[in-house]
Structure 1
Amino acid sequence: MATTRMLLEIDGTEADRDTLDALIEVRAEEATDEADAALVTMRVDPDASGGWPSLLDPLVTPRTPLAVRLERDGRSYRFDGYSARAVWDLDAEGRSTLTVLAIDRSLDLDREEKAVAWPGQRDSAMAETIFTEHKLRAEVASTPAGFDPDVHTVMQRGTDWSFVRELAVKWGYVAYLEADDGGQVTGHFHPPAPLAEPQGELALGFGGDAHRAQIRVDLLAGRRVIARRTPPLAAAAVTADAAGDDEAMAEVSLSARATELLAPQDVAGEVDVRQAATGRARHSAYGVTLTAAVDTDRTGLLLRARRTVLVRGLGPVLSGGYLVDRVRHVVTLEAHRQEVTLRRNALGATGFGPGGPG
């Protein structure tokens, strides 16, 4: 079975195998609703002058580039970001370490508070403009047309990143940055895809990939969202009713377990009140959360967040398709473990071939 290959690049220079002898651990994490992050820990030993030199010393300068690339069996993940915090743990009689935390390129979008008017633009156009202004490739799903600028102008008050995230929440979209193998970063602004083709299978429980998994189910998750508002200069109100069960990942949907009545100001600025209600209803239905730690040598699978995975071995209620909400890769020179958080919006095993859920 293939093993995980890791590249560590500090301020544009790749670390070779000899310099990585002092490496203790690398943690690289991607998640749906948070910036990607990397945590690198290395052993440090005192020199003759009383200093504690380390391969990570360049990263002690704020916002120094750090890249971590993991590759296994044709699949890869690349973290591309900047150093944000350094912690020395010094012990003159034992093992001393330097740990550096890095955050992805969203730091570039989160540096400056702004007050910007966006007259007559779609929310998706605003997100795309912000991505391109920061020299990012943009993968953006369209939202309905914006207001007539003579009637209403959207105002941004905050950083570019906080503004894009707010726009995404409004439509039930996800917003994140993702680096490809060559270091090109893409800004994403679009709905999640819970019914997409799975990136692979995890055999949990008695399946062997992880003997222990914790699954929490909110049996009252899911909102039937009723929204009502009167557009500017319109003679009548527009009403939308969304159950959020149109993208159920199994036969027993967790949608519409409660009702949420939105006030007119809750959807202010929206042109398509139905799309806003639908996004909010869909987002509320993800009531199943599964956490597990998997041995990558056993699974042979390099999982990626924001994609789907098929889970076997948990029986007909809990097996089936899941969205990968978070992946934390814990890599040493000897092993690679993945700590995963999976979510879904329904109960029941579906998406299996003739062999059943297994």
Structure 2
Amino acid sequence: MLTGELGIRLMLLVGDTVPLPASGELVSALEQVQVTSDAAGGDGFQLTFRLSRGLVDYPLLLSGAVDPFKRVIVGVMLGAVPQVLIDGIVTHQQLTPGSGPGESTLTVTGRDVSVMMDLEEANEEYPNQPDFVIATTVIGRYAQYGLVPMPTPTADVPIMLQRVPRQAETDLAFLKRMAERNGYVFYVEPVTFGVNTAYWGPQTRVAPPQPALTTGMGSADNLTGIHFSQDGLAPVAASGAFVEPISRTAIPIPQLPALKLPPLAAKPVMPRRTRMSRGSGQESPARAALSVLAAATNAPDPVTAEGEVDTARYGHVLRARGIVGVRGVGLSYGGMYYVRRVTHTLRPAAGAYTQSFSLSREGTVSLLPAVLP
């Protein structure tokens, strides 16, 4: 389905375990698509359909095509390369009846396929297994949703006589809890249609940068607006101690810097707040130090930027959890940023495609003398 003059093709697949191209009835009723990719809050989507009522009910509702727990894949094609925005599951419907023909709307909301990990709580033990092996095992239970495990190894190997990792929550909550205590993140990201990576590891900043976001440079501009902010209370220093097992002496752990590599700013905002790792006294020295490091790493970035991309000028899909350069805003706030959130909004009938974004990094002043387009 072409979205007008932009030459962007929207692709919609729906179904049960294996989604198929949407029917003509579903496509013609589609009014708006909104997909949000959020590095912190997870990915979600919202589809809005314009409905006409039949003799006894709305045909689209009777078909059950977008009932809860249907699988939905949304993709776009800019040029010749298709890109999947989300592979998700419908979780909610909202019907708004209208007074005249074609004035009723159906809004369908859902989350990425990781929501299927969040349905059933479990009580499990994983003796003598490091966290990354446990994560691989848990993710492997959801192969029918195209999840490919991508865990990053962890150094701590628990011994049964000292500690046994236990699960007392849903698989998704368990994976996120294990990730947080290692200073890691967990998310599901589509690779292609029906295939998703389940990443469990540190926040990555080593991917090739995406095409730059540009403002104040005349014909090279591709933003409709951008603004920056700096929160001096966002960074957090962490402290803690572990107990030496023979003398039972509490040994303090020195404050450790946040593990966000590579750095993106030459002038990082120094933390003024300190958080105590209160459970470190019951852990081994290595595990206690990791808890302190994770607390500092999990703190939010103090410098953020929000704005909107002119997709026609930008010519690309901006992806969350990647790196992008910002040009034309000066040395202090220009340079490379981590893309925290992107909201894609498509209106097929109007031929409109906008991308609003949120960026972040640990400080000001670019590390690079210039940002490439």
- Give TM-score, length-normalised by structure 1: 0.89
> Equivalent of 1:304, from 319, 326, 339?
319
Please give the residue correspondences for 1:194-209 in structure 2 after superposition, counting only pairs within 5 Å: 194-204=205-215, 208-209=221-222
Aligned pair 1:252/2:267, yes or no?
yes
Structure 1 residue 129, shift from structure 2 partner? 1.0
**Cα gap change, 1:266/1:36 in structure 2, threshold over 3 Å: closer, same or farther?**
farther
Contact 2:212 2:372 in 1 (8 A): no
Whether 1:131 aligns to 2:139 is yes
User: In 2, are the aligned partners of 1:204 and 1:210 still within 8 Å (CA)?
Assistant: yes
- 1:189 paired to 2:200: yes
Match of 2:112 among 101, 104, 110: 104
> Counterpart in 1 of 2:238?
225
Q: Tell me, yes or no, if the aligned pair for 1:198 and 1:307 is still in contact at 8 Å.
A: yes
1:122 paired residue number: 130
Contact 1:37/1:101 (8 A) holds in 2:
yes
SS of 2:210 mapped into structure 1: coil
Q: Secondary structure at the match of 2:125?
A: strand
Residue 249 of structure 1 deviates from its aligned partner by 1.0
Structure 1 residue 86: Cα displacement = 0.7
Matching of residues 51-70 of structure 1 within 5 Å = 51-54=57-60, 57-70=63-76
Shift of 1:271: 3.8
Q: 1:178 to 1:104 in 2, by over 3 A?
A: same
| 1:281 maps to 2:296 | yes
1:181: Cα distance to partner? 1.2
Q: Deviations over 1:206-241 (max 9, x none)?
A: 663224223221123322322321376786647243
**Structure 2 Cα separation of the partners of residues 234 and 144 of structure 1:** 26
Matches within 5 A, 1:131-170: 131-135=139-143, 136-170=147-181
1:328 aligns with 2:339: no
Secondary structure at 1:168 match in 2: helix
Letter aligned with residue 295 of structure 2 = R
Identity of aligned residues (%): 25
Any gaps of 5 or more consecutive residues in structure 2? none
The question of whether the paired residues in 2 share the 8 Å contact of 1:196 and 1:308 is answered with yes
Tell me the alpha carbon deviations over residues 6-47 of structure 1, each in whole angstroms, 9 at most, x when there is no partner. 110121231366752322100112111223211111110122
**How much has 1:80 moved relative to structure 2?**
1.3
SS in structure 2 opposite 1:263?
coil
Distance 2:62 2:196 in 1: 24
By how many angstroms is 1:138 displaced?
0.7
Deviations 1:292-331 (A, max 9, x none): 1212112112111111111112211111111111111101
CA distance in 2, matches of 1:200, 1:297: 13
For this pair of structures, how many residues does the alignment match? 355
1:76 is matched by which residue type in structure 2?
Q
Cα distance in 2, alignment partners of residues 104 and 341 from structure 1: 19
Question: Letter of the aligned partner of 1:153 in structure 2?
Answer: V
Which whole-Å CA distance do the structure 1 matches of 2:244 and 2:109 have between them? 46
1:309–1:322 contact (8 Å) kept in structure 2:
yes
State the SS of the aligned residue for 1:318.
coil
Give the structure 2 partner of residue 4 of structure 1. Answer: 8
How far 1:2 sits from its partner (Å)? Answer: 6.9
Cα distance change, pair 276–3 in 1 and its aligned pair in 2 (3 A):
farther
Counterpart AA for 2:242: R
Deviation for aligned residue 1:164: 0.5
Cα separation, partners in 2 of 1:263 and 1:18, compared to 1, 3 Å: closer
Give, in angstroms, the shift of residue 162 of structure 1: 0.3
Aligned-partner Cα distance in 1 for 2:361–2:61: 41
* Matches of 1:85 and 1:233, distance apart in 2: 56
**Deviation at residue 193 of structure 1 after TM alignment:** 2.1
Change (3 A) 1:319 1:266: farther
> What residue number does 1:262 align with?
277
CA drift at 1:55: 8.0
**What is the aligned partner in structure 1 of residue 359 from structure 2?**
342
Find out whether 1:86 has 2:96 as its counterpart: no
Distance 1:4 1:276, change over 3 A: farther
Measured after TM superposition, the shift of residue 176 of structure 1 is 0.5
The more displaced of 61-70 and 244-253 is 244-253
Q: Distance in 2 between matches of 1:204 and 1:40?
A: 31
Distance 1:61 1:77, change over 3 A: closer
| Aligned-residue RMSD, C-alpha | 2.7
**Is the 8 Å Cα contact of residues 148 and 198 (structure 2) preserved in structure 1?**
yes
CA distance in 1, matches of 2:116, 2:244: 36
Q: What SS does the corresponding residue of 1:28 show, helix, strand or coil?
A: strand
